[in-house]
Each structure stands twice: as C-alpha cells, then as structure tokens.
C-alpha cells in the first residue's frame, strides 16, 4: 500500500522560510514524476513545483526563484524548500506521485502571516 506523508508546515512571518518533506512508503519515489500542490481557502488546488523521474524541475511562475523542489532517493523523500514566503503562499500543501496511479498525501498547512 502506497502512503505519502507530508511534514514541515507551520506558521511563519512574511519573508521567512519553511522546508516541507514528503516521505513515501510502499513504492520507490524515484520512478515517479512527483510534485507539490497547494490549495488556498476558497480556491482550487494548484500545481507549485514538479520534479520528473529523471530529475527535471519546473515551477509555477509565482514561486520561481523562491522555492526549490528536490528528491532524496536514499530516503525515498520529496522536499520543497520555500524562501521569501509571502501571505499569498498560504494554503494546504500536498505532495503527489504520478505513475500508473496518482497518489496524494494528507497535506500540511502553511500559514504566512505577521
């Protein structure tokens, strides 16, 4: 059974940083295309960043230069380093693994507020 478990969310002031992690079990993450999504209150879930099974990364325009997605294959874990956080980054962040099936974690709350 595939499980994805996110961690690392919290409350941070504007300009601060957080590092999200997503630990996978029941599968090998590096064989998947993986990504981070977020959902703000009252809005649809949106794609934030992706990393393919070959290591290519892509970001939505609003986070380019501030967020970095990475994968630790030895620990079967996906990360999202978030710097210069803004109130508009607030939301529930979900990790996703896309192979033959699509797998989602339960989400971790990120709140950017003074």
pLDDT in tens, 22-34: 999 988 887 889 9
Quote the distance between the C-alpha of residue 4 and its chain's center.
11
DSSP for residue 109: E
Return phi, psi of residue 29, to 5°: -60, -35
**Could you report the per-residue pLDDT of 80-110, keeping only the tens digit for each?**
999 999 999 999 999 999 888 899 999 999 9
Exposure b/e, 67-103, CB count within 10 A at least 16 = b:
bbbebeeeebbbbbebeebeeebbbbbbbbbeeeeeb
| 108-112 and 10-12 strand pairing | parallel
Would you state the pLDDT for residue 48?
Answer: 98
Binned at pLDDT 50, 70 and 90, residue 35 comes out as: very high
């Amino acid at each position: 059974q595939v499980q994805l478990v996110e961690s690392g969310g919290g409350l941070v002031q504007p300009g601060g940083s957080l590092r999200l992690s997503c630990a996978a079990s029941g599968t090998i993450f590096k064989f998947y295309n993986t990504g981070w999504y977020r959902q703000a209150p009252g809005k649809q879930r949106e794609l934030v960043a992706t990393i393919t099974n070959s290591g290519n990364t892509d970001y939505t325009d609003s986070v380019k230069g501030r967020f970095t997605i990475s994968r630790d294959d030895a620990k079967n874990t996906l990360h999202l380093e978030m710097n210069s956080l803004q109130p508009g980054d607030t939301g529930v962040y979900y990790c996703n693994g896309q192979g033959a099936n699509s797998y989602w974690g339960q989400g971790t709350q990120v709140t950017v507020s003074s």
